[in-house]
Structure 1
Amino acid sequence: MRVLLFTGKGGVGKTSVAAATAVRAAELGHRTMIISTDPAHSLGDSLDLELGQSATQVRQNLWAHEVSALHETERHWQKLHDYATKVFATQGLDDVVAEEVANPPGMDEVASLMWIKHYAERDEHDLLVVDCAPTGETLQLLMFPDAARWWLEKIFPWQRRAMKVARPMLRRMVDVPLPSDEVMASLQDLVLDIEGMKKVLIDTSVTSVRLVLNLEKMVIKEAKRAFTYLSLFGYVTDAVIVNRRLPAKISDPLLRSWSDIQKRYQQEVEQSFQPLPIFQVPLFDEEVVGERMLRKMGQTIYGSADPSQRFYEGSSQRMEKVGSEYILALKVPFADKEAIELSRQDGELFVTLGNYRRDISLPRVLASRQTLGAKIEDGELKIRFGK
């Protein structure tokens, strides 16, 4: 099964582009499921349908699912939620308030993304199209599995053993309910689920990200940052989709001015995102709502191409031997060396870029060697290892 993640700055039309892709793929005979993990849930509006908490068949070969984050959180992690509610209630919070704050920030969206793992394991569809949240939220969610894996491997075993030993004594000393073995097991299951989701997402033979943007300065800057962070964490972007492109020839002075601005930014997009293919979507003369207009948009975007194909297959990470040294190369387009920090601990390499940090488990051949230096060259962070 192929998985396509669509993201972009809020308001660029990513839901419409994702829905148009799904409609076009279904039209070509692919059994296609489109899901929305965006809390705004505008997928149903785009399709002009009422969508429920379960999958709805839209037409032949096409199903849609607007995931209820609250429902998914309760379904997957009820024990964790119940424990957190008890903790807050013992601190004097009203029961209703305790119930509400028991969901940690971001957990609703994580629960929604679990459907990617769910549909991949069931393998009942040829293509899964995911209408993600706006770029910032999507990046935080996609980086979360790395932090979860590190916690599971490094901290959780010690924490669980310490809790078993200390629980009898702590019960007499504190008035807060302590997590039971059942709660700790649920926590471990949660992290393992997230790790399973990550395996699907970073499998480049399965998953690709597609960035949707408009030809505006702020939108392009955010798309470039997203491309950098996605590459750093091993996610492959296989296409950029420019939405709402104005015609080249316009008689109206105001629109002609905007068309000239778009031409200038189009050149920047082409220079910045090469060698990725860049698809153009015009500003249509009516709203893109409903299957008819989505079909028109999908045909306009992809033409004779199959939207489920991989339009770019570059690797975000590679290793090579040069003389007696090894070089680990990570794709970090648009990044400056000054913005990157490197650190090591045991067999882990930590790469910090802006507000994000990636934890890379080094292969044995690199873990036994020293870090000799790093440089950015041709959009890659090249880290040298040697004796």
Structure 2
Amino acid sequence: MRTLLIMGAGGSGRTTLAAATALTAARSGTRTLLLGADPEDTLGAALGVATGPAPAAVEPGLTAWRPDAARGFRDGLAALQDRAASALGLLGAARLDPEELTPLPGAGELALLRGLRDAALAEEHDLLVVDLPPAPAALALLALPAELRRYLRRLLPPERQAARALRPVLGRLAGVPLPTEALYEHAARWDLELAAAEAVLTDRNTVVRLVAEPGPAGADAVRATALGLALRGLPVERLAANRVLPEDTPADGWLAGPVAQQRKTLEEWQGVHDVHPVPHLGRDPRGTDDLAALALPGVRPDTAPVEWPVRDRLAEDGVLVWEIPLPGATRDGLDLVRRGDELAVAAGPFRRIVPLPSALRRCTVEGAALREGLLSVRFAPDPRLWPGER
């Protein structure tokens, strides 16, 4: 199954173009699921068919679904209370009834991740189109599974689970309580669920389609979002330039200025992205006829994955070079910190901690350079760890 993540700033028309893209794919014979996260039924408004917690058939080959964050939060907390019933009883804590629970901030994002995972595991569709939240929240959401898994591994290292049988004895000998069996079981279950969501996001068949309205604000949003996606290693399949005004707009009218701005921005984008102009219909698109008139293309089958190669320059310079593409990054907004076998990379407002490739773990960092959107980090072999010549 292919996964197409639709991403753009708030107000860019992201949800409308997600619906139009899914409709185009379905009408071409691709079994398509359109997944949304907005608690308001903006997807239904665009499609002309109400959507909700139960998958709804829009037309043959197209299903739309908005997971219920409130229901997922209630069910998850109720299950947690059931598993921790004995501990809650010892503490004298009163159970919370499902009727009094309201979802906390972030519940919607977690519901979308679960929906993403469930749709991939079901294997009932050929294409999954995901209408993500506005770009800043979407980038944080895409980072969530990997970051939470990293926290779990640090707090409850898997190698310590080998001592499960000895934990009660060790606890008595040490005189301090040790993590219980249930805690490790919960951590393993969370790790499995997060791993399934992360597998979808990191799959080679997962790509991003950016949506932006050409103009100064849209150009800024595209630059920032493209940098965040590059740091996550997610490839941009296409840039949909939304609400493009007709080229034959009279030069002496009030629209002449916006048309000139759009033309300038489109020329800049075409030098970097595969740009698909989406015409302005003169109204807000509503229903499948309007969505079809937008003529959104299908998913590009030849989108290249983002790669961070390690170049062997030992013979020439005595170093290995890790090349990290970061389009739009600046030296002032760049920061690198090595911590053990991990490298923390910060570019502008975005940050990611990545494990070092095995060869680089036996090296020391010698320096880094940023040129034309490519970060090159130089590593020199550590004589104490690097295999000697025979």
Short-chain TM bin: 0.7 to 0.9
Which residue in the other structure is 1:216 paired with?
A: 215
- Aligned equivalents of 1:288, 1:120: Cα separation in 2: 29
Residues 83, 183 of structure 1: 8 Å contact kept: no
* Aligned 1:62-141 pairs, distance under 5 A: 62-76=62-76, 78-80=78-80, 100=101, 104-141=104-141
- Aligned equivalents of 2:92, 2:377: Cα separation in 1: 49
Cα distance change on mapping 1:93 and 1:344 into 2, 3 Å: farther
Cα distance change on mapping 1:335 and 1:286 into 2, 3 Å: same
- Aligned equivalents of 2:73, 2:343: Cα separation in 1: 33
Which residue in the other structure is 2:257 paired with?
A: 257
Find out whether 1:362 has 2:356 as its counterpart: yes
The DSSP-based 3-state class of the residue aligned with 1:280 is strand
Which residue in the other structure is 2:224 paired with?
A: 225
- Aligned equivalents of 1:69, 1:368: Cα separation in 2: 45
Give the unaligned 5+ runs of structure 1: 170-177
- Aligned equivalents of 2:124, 2:98: Cα separation in 1: 40
- Aligned equivalents of 1:282, 1:209: Cα separation in 2: 21
Find out whether 1:337 has 2:331 as its counterpart: yes
Cα distance change on mapping 1:99 and 1:334 into 2, 3 Å: farther
- Aligned equivalents of 1:35, 1:109: Cα separation in 2: 12
TM-score by length of 1: 0.84
The DSSP-based 3-state class of the residue aligned with 1:337 is coil
Shift of 1:92: 11
Q: Deviations over 1:301-330 (max 9, x none)?
A: 32xxxx133353142422221233211111
Which residue in the other structure is 2:293 paired with?
A: 296
The DSSP-based 3-state class of the residue aligned with 1:253 is coil
Give the unaligned 5+ runs of structure 2: 173-177, 382-390
Which residue in the other structure is 2:14 paired with?
A: 14
Cα distance change on mapping 1:367 and 1:180 into 2, 3 Å: closer
Which residue in the other structure is 1:284 paired with?
A: 281
Residues 78, 98 of structure 2: 8 Å contact kept: no
- Aligned equivalents of 2:84, 2:278: Cα separation in 1: 47
TM-score by length of 2: 0.84
Cα distance change on mapping 1:179 and 1:365 into 2, 3 Å: closer
Residues 139, 229 of structure 2: 8 Å contact kept: yes
- Aligned equivalents of 1:318, 1:40: Cα separation in 2: 42
Residues 9, 134 of structure 2: 8 Å contact kept: yes
Cα distance change on mapping 1:30 and 1:53 into 2, 3 Å: same
How many residue pairs align between the two structures?
A: 367
Find out whether 1:319 has 2:310 as its counterpart: yes
Residues 148, 195 of structure 1: 8 Å contact kept: no
Shift of 1:187: 4.3
Residues 135, 225 of structure 2: 8 Å contact kept: yes
Shift of 1:134: 0.5
Shift of 1:257: 2.0
* Aligned 1:135-150 pairs, distance under 5 A: 135-150=135-150
Pick from 347, 350, 361: which aligns with 1:353? 347
Which residue in the other structure is 2:53 paired with?
A: 53
Q: Deviations over 1:88-125 (max 9, x none)?
A: xx999996899657x55324312222221211122111
Cα distance change on mapping 1:268 and 1:84 into 2, 3 Å: farther
Shift of 1:214: 0.4
Q: Percent of pairs identical after alignment?
A: 27
Cα distance change on mapping 1:53 and 1:9 into 2, 3 Å: same
Cα distance change on mapping 1:254 and 1:235 into 2, 3 Å: same
Which residue in the other structure is 2:377 paired with?
A: 383
Shift of 1:217: 1.7
Q: CA RMSD in A?
A: 3.3
Which protein has the larger Cα radius of gyration, Structure 1 or Structure 2? 2
